[in-house]
Chains A and B, each alone.
Chain A
Amino acid sequence: MVLKFVGFLLVLASTTLIGIYLGSKESFRAMDLKEFKKALIILKSEIEYLNSPLLEAMQNISVKVEPPVSQVFMGMSKKMFCSESGDIYTFWQDAVLGNTKKTYLKKEDIGLILDFGKCLGHLDKNLQVNNIRFTIEQIEERVAVLNIESAKSKKMYNSMGILSGLLICIIFI
């Protein structure tokens, strides 16, 4: 009987934790997007005010933002430093796709980040700055939506976690 009770408790705890994790996933995604926004703000300043070349800017960003987002910029600077040929978008693609596996970003977020790389390095500084602004705006919109949605889904997943645990326990009683 005691063993059964411990088993039920374990099942309940596990499903509750799974519920909490699933409910927090969207918040983590929003946090990654915010970190990416921070990186873009630094990049904007590097380009607009410091006139830094991309390699220098990427290196600076990689030490100023938190992992795993920093890995994207670190990866990009490594690609740029080591490659003797290739184009900047390919470097960006490789850096983003190779270093976003540990983030909570979804396919559509990665698509947005990849699109951002299409204008990187072009001659027109205004284009660079406007491209960064545009991406920041899109991130802000996405984060705003996520904040609303994650509040709802958090409650739902938390409740589902507990209820599914209880359901399993009831079935096995």
Chain B
Amino acid sequence: MKNELLSYFGLGLHSILGGVKESFFAGVEEIRLRVGKPIIIYKNNKEYFVGADGGVYTDINLGYRPTAKEVNKTLELMCGYSLYAFGEEIKNGYITLQSGHRVGITGQVITENGAITGIKNINGLNLRVSHEVLGCSNEVIRYVCEPDLKHCMIISPPACGKTTLLRDIVRIVSDGYGGRPGQKVGVVDERSEIAGCYMGVAQNNIGQRTDVLDSCPKSIGMKMLLRSMSPRLIAVDEIGSRADIDAIDEVTNAGVKIICTVHGRDIDDLLKKPVLNGLLNKNLFELFIVLGYDKKPGKIMGVYGQDYKRAT
């Protein structure tokens, strides 16, 4: 993990972070770089500051403050010296790296006729480390697959492991759960976070019968998979737009099961989202899994049935 993450950091940051013990990198959730501000690493819901000597401290004043050049170089390395290839993603404020790590980007936003055309003078990067946790869905998989595969929605605040859980459910359904035969699964991986595709090949374990449309807009990808790959289940991450809802409608009308994730704290929060009202009013989803943070991400806070009543 250390060497992989280190390869993304340029100039002085490479040697500074290189001085951090390898064991510390296990379980790291975020590495934040801000120009002129201390480097912060988030781990187990605590923040740590990395000093110029590579030491990890809890005192903010000991944190090394990267320069604009170092931050820019780091972004260049993260993009494989090909910023142009990430242009569309940068416009959305993030890029996805190999292995599915996501990097949030802040800086001076350039707009033209109200639309974002790019970001310059980058002042901050937030590397969110993707963790593949095989078996993290063991607690809930029976609700998803028994007695038959269900339409399922995973609700979670940011950075609480919804993509990790989705990935593991996809893997188990694809490989076959509890002696059942594996199912054909289609994944529309708009942000390359589920499969973590690199040059088109999934880097994460997403099962033997899973087809991935990488970097494809969800609303288009769902329809493409439906028409071309005859999936039994389609998985998408972070739905939220009107186009996503329409595509889910089309998928479910065709008899294909859907599993998706959505940002939210709990069921009540979900019901307050106007864009999801139409979808929820149809009583389509048979299962809701709520995730939260309890010492570490991925805590199952509750599993709810079609009537929003707690199953566990």
Contact = CB atoms under 8 A, between A and B. Distances in A.
Interface in B81-102: 81-85, 87, 90
Size bin of chain A's contact surface: 20 to 34
Interface in A129-167: none
B68 to A, nearest CB: 15
Contacts of A87: 76
Contact of A122 (B14, B73, B83): B83
Contacts of A84: 6-7, 14, 77
Interface stretch (A14-22, A51-59, A102-110): A51-59
Given A56-B199, A84-B7, A125-B87, A120 B14 contact: no
Contacts of A57: 82
Interface in A107-131: 120-125, 127-128
Nearest to B7: A84
Interface in A63-105: 80, 84-85, 87-88, 91
A128 B84 contact: yes
A47 interface: yes
Contacts of A120: 81
Nearest to A53: B82
Contacts of A53: 79-82, 85
Nearest to B3: A84
A47 B84 contact: yes
B19 interface: no
Contact of B84 (A56, A80, A91, A124): A124
A57 B84 CA distance: 13
Contacts of A85: 10-11, 14, 73, 77
Contacts of B82: 52-55, 57, 121
A160 B79 CA distance: 55
B84 A122 contact: yes
The residue among B11, B79, B81, B118 with the most chain A CB atoms within 10 A of its own CB is B81
Contacts of B79: 53, 121
Given A47-B84, A80-B80, A123 B14 contact: no
Contact of A121 (B10, B81, B90, B118): B81
Interface in B1-16: 6-7, 10-11, 14
A80 B10 CA distance: 13
A150 B120 CA distance: 48
B10 A55 contact: no
Interface of B: 6-7, 10-11, 14, 73, 76-77, 79-85, 87, 90, 118, 120, 199
27 contacts: A47-B85, A51-B85, A53-B80, A53-B82, A54-B81, A55-B80, A57-B82, A85-B10, A85-B11, A85-B14, A85-B77, A88-B76, A88-B81, A91-B81, A120-B81, A121-B76, A121-B79, A121-B82, A121-B83, A121-B84, A122-B84, A123-B118, A124-B87, A124-B118, A125-B84, A125-B87, A127-B84
Interface of A: 47, 51-57, 80, 84-85, 87-88, 91, 120-125, 127-128
